[in-house]
């Protein structure tokens, strides 16, 4: 099915008894149409746009009726990706509506892929958009109902329903319609029919919200359910913007951060090889989607703001470059970072009162997240891909130039705001002797210190250890620093770390508490 695994119950499809399934409320004409479609080649069934549209709507009706009376929660939804013919036939007996759901989705997706490949004079818009205005058929809601089953649901059904809906909606987007041309059976150009983009907007928002919720609430292999439809949404400017409005950039970035930790911890044992391959492929597809979205940076302040939020997207991409799970992942992550490092705010400036977000901002975040170190490592490696070599060279030059323009405090501030602390020259006694007063923040509310205290609770033990050291040095070098650190809750968060199983974190926590409690730290050092 063009990248989508076939239904595990495909073997049972020819044995469906339509007359016995009264709950589907099929008319005699609809039943006859289903049987005729089974006996004719798909190209023949789709050769007339009216017949093709009627067939598609019958399939959507099957889906709606089946799910209204329980399909998607029975035996079929719990079957593995592959099952025996005997298991498929047993499922037909125990869960016939589940079989009908898989049948309808399989045939529906076959229609969409066939029309994409080209059928004379018939298009997705002529099948799924009706009337003089070219409005999306109301039956599309059957696909959304499959997605809104909740929980794990029927993985095959959700994957195919979401991808089918994405393909149907893409056909109405103006940016995509400019690329399509249709010819009749004699090869003559056919004038494109009018299609209502407005009728596809709300469904696209619903689909984007579902994809975002999957990225937000699921993990591991379950994320793979929404990746095909996510990649489809990346094909059009309009759907990319809609997806970003649903918080998509943040949720992709969270998945990448979680995925990078999983990839680091997976061993090279035979048992984990398949899991590692799946994990890396999923990481690649997510990074690819983020890369596509970076091409919207120049045109949208809001998308630049989404990429800048909490430093999460850059941190995730730097992780991909640092752990280098596969060369293809590194290539796309580097290209994404380069797009961010070379974007500008001229075409879509910031609204009044909002900070400017451009290449300088992103380069500062990259430095804070340790990209300079990662790029230095990559420069020592031999890559066969010229794009990687060029991106490494470009990023190295831009990072060095930007670093020279930044003060040491700016480097430190970017690092703590990115939550990506690494031992270096800004985590030393000499640095805090010079910059302790800068911890007051621009508004005098000690925001940098508050962020540092929050980092004590980081799941990364090295970050917690560095935060302990920095807070201790602030206490030593800022007048009344002990009272301020205590008032902001530093002591309560550091105390439990004294008993941490990591000896390095334990040591820095003990020293931090000592600096908070003891006036003359030098005498007990």
CB atoms within 10 A of CB 214: 22
Higher pLDDT, 305 or 43: 305
* SS3 call for 130: strand
* pLDDT given at position 341: 96
Q: How many CB atoms lie under 10 A from the CB of residue 117?
A: 9
Q: Kindly state the tokens that stand for 276.
A: 């590692």
Q: What are phi and psi of 136, to 5 degrees?
A: -60, 135
* 421 has a pLDDT exceeding 70: yes
Tell me the C-alpha to C-alpha distance, in Å, between residue 361 and each of 420, 421, 423. Answer: 16, 18, 22
pTM summary value? 0.82
Instruction: For 389-421, give one letter per residue: b (16+ CB within 10 A) or e.
Output: bebbebbbebbeebeeebeeebbbbbbbbbbbb
In 96-222, DSSP assigns E strands to 129-130, 135-136, 182-183, 189-190
**Mean pLDDT rounded to a whole number for the chain:** 88
**pLDDT score of 222:** 79
Check: CB of residue 460 under 8 Å from CB of residue 453. Answer: no
pLDDT digits (tens, 9 = 90+) for 209-231: 999 999 998 777 778 999 999 99
- Cα dihedral 21/24/30/34 (nearest 10): -60
Please report the pLDDT score of residue 48 as a whole number. 86
Count CB-CB contacts under 10 A for residue 309.
Answer: 14
Residue with tokens 């990225």: 215
**Residue-wise pLDDT tens digits, 314-358:** 999 999 999 877 899 999 999 999 999 999 988 899 888 888 899
499, 493 contact by CB (below 8 A): no
pLDDT over 70, % of the chain:
91
Q: How far apart are the first and last CA of the chain?
A: 68
437 DSSP β-pair partners: none
Angle made by CA atoms 508, 410, 396, in degrees to the nearest 5: 100
pLDDT of res. 72: 73
Q: What is the pLDDT of residues 469-493, one digit of tens each?
A: 999 999 999 998 999 999 999 999 9
SS3 353: coil
pLDDT at 523 over 50: no
- Which DSSP symbol is given to 459? S
Q: Could you give the CA distance from residue 130 to residue 196 in angstroms, rounded to a whole number?
A: 9
Query: Is residue 525 predicted with pLDDT exceeding 60?
Result: no
pLDDT in tens, 114-151: 988 776 678 999 999 998 899 999 999 999 999 987 55
CA distance 67 to 507: 59
Residues 470 and 482: their CA atoms lie apart, in Å, by 13
pLDDT tens digits, one per residue of 184-212:
555 666 566 789 999 999 999 999 999 99
pLDDT reading at 268 higher than 70: no
Predicted pLDDT at 273 = 52
Tens of pLDDT, residues 82-97: 889 999 999 999 999 9
Say what the pLDDT of residue 4 is: 74
- DSSP code of residue 521: G
Burial class (CB in 10 A: 0-12, 13-18, 19+), 107: buried
- pLDDT of 508 over the 70 cut: yes
Q: State which H helix or E strand residue 43 sits in.
A: helix 42-45
């Amino acid at each position: 099915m063009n990248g989508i695994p076939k239904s595990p119950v495909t073997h049972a499809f020819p044995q469906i008894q339509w007359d016995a399934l009264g709950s589907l409320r099929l008319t005699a004409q609809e039943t006859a149409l289903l049987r005729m479609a089974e006996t004719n080649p798909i190209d023949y069934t789709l050769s007339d746009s009216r017949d093709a549209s009627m067939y598609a709507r019958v399939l959507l009706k099957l889906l709606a009726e089946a799910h209204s009376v329980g399909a998607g929660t029975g035996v079929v939804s719990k079957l593995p990706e592959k099952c025996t013919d005997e298991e498929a036939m047993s499922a037909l007996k125990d869960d016939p509506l589940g079989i009908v759901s898989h049948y309808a989705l399989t045939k529906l997706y076959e229609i969409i892929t066939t029309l994409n490949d080209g059928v004379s004079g018939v298009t997705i818009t002529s099948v799924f958009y009706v009337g003089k205005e070219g409005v999306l058929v109301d039956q599309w809601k059957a696909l959304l109902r499959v997605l809104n089953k909740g929980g794990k649901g029927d993985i095959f059904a959700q994957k195919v329903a979401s991808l089918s809906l994405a393909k149907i909606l893409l056909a109405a987007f103006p940016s995509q319609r400019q690329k399509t041309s249709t010819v009749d059976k004699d090869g003559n150009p056919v004038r494109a029919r009018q299609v209502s983009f407005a009728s596809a907007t709300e469904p696209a928002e619903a689909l984007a919200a579902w994809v975002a919720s999957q990225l937000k609430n699921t993990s591991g292999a379950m994320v793979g359910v929404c990746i095909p439809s996510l990649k489809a949404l990346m094909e059009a400017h309009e759907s990319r913007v809609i997806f970003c409005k649903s918080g998509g950039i943040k949720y992709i970035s969270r998945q990448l951060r979680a995925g990078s930790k999983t990839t680091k911890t997976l061993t090279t044992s035979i048992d984990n090889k398949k899991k590692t391959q799946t994990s890396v492929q999923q990481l690649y597809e997510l990074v690819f989607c983020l890369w596509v979205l970076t091409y919207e940076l120049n045109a949208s302040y809001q998308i630049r703001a989404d990429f800048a939020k909490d430093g999460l997207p850059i941190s995730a991409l730097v992780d991909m470059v640092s752990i280098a799970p596969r060369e293809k992942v590194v290539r796309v992550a580097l290209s994404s970072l380069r797009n961010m490092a070379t974007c500008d705010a001229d075409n879509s400036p910031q609204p009044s009162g909002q900070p400017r977000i451009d290449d300088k901002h992103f380069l500062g975040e990259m430095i804070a997240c340790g990209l300079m170190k990662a790029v230095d490592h990559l420069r020592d490696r031999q890559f066969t891909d010229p794009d990687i070599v060029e991106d490494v060279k470009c990023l190295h030059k831009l990072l060095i130039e930007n670093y020279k323009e930044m003060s040491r405090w700016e480097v430190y501030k970017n690092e703590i705001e990115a939550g990506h602390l690494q031992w270096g020259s800004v985590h030393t006694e000499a640095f805090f002797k010079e910059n302790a007063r800068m911890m007051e923040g621009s508004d005098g509310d000690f925001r940098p210190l508050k962020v540092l205290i929050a980092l004590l609770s980081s799941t990364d033990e090295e970050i917690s250890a560095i935060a302990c050291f920095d807070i201790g040095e602030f206490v030593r070098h800022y007048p009344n620093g002990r009272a301020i650190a205590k008032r902001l809750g530093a002591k309560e968060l550091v105390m439990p770390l004294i008993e941490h199983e990591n000896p390095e974190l334990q040591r820095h926590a003990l020293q931090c508490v000592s600096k908070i409690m003891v006036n003359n730290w030098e005498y007990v050092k």
